[in-house]
Amino acid sequence: MKSSISKILILVYLFSATEASQLLKFPLLFSHFVEHQQKEPSMSFGEFLHHHYAAEHKDDGDAATDNKLPFKSHDQCWSFVFPISIFHTIQLSQIKTIVIEKKKILFSSSVNIFSAYLSTIWQPPRF
């Protein structure tokens, strides 16, 4: 049940928020190819695609059908978000305050520990 619902939701998203809805126009592409092939029987499907998509397409009297072909025009893609609250509201009955005591941090008696080590770096080499 969960997998079928997730597949349906993925399909709804793909067809509403992406250009996947252009795939539904492929039957029109093939029927338009058949129309062109009836006018010019020697035209192959590759030549048809080149004529309509790659080359500058001249108006041959079927501009309305040409504009309905897949990936010739862009659809408005929409994305909807439906916030669904599945958690119940959490109510705090009492607010407890926590008091942290301030303590003074004590350092060791030798404050210049690092400077003592740094001064030994710049000594001449010993043999």
The pTM of the full predicted model, rounded to 2 decimals, is: 0.50
Cα gap 28→34, rounded to integer Å: 10
Return the closest-CA partner of residue 38 out of 48, 50, 49, 46. Answer: 48
Tens digit of each residue's pLDDT (9 = 90 or more) over 94-115: 767 777 777 776 655 555 556 6
Whether the CB-CB separation of 46 and 40 falls below 8 Å is answered with no
Whether the predicted pLDDT of 116 surpasses 80: no
H or E stretch at 116: helix 113-121
Tens digit of each residue's pLDDT (9 = 90 or more) over 16-67: 777 777 888 888 889 989 988 898 889 899 988 888 888 777 777 777 788 8
- Residue 15: other Cβ atoms inside 10 A: 16
Whether the CB-CB separation of 69 and 28 falls below 8 Å is answered with yes
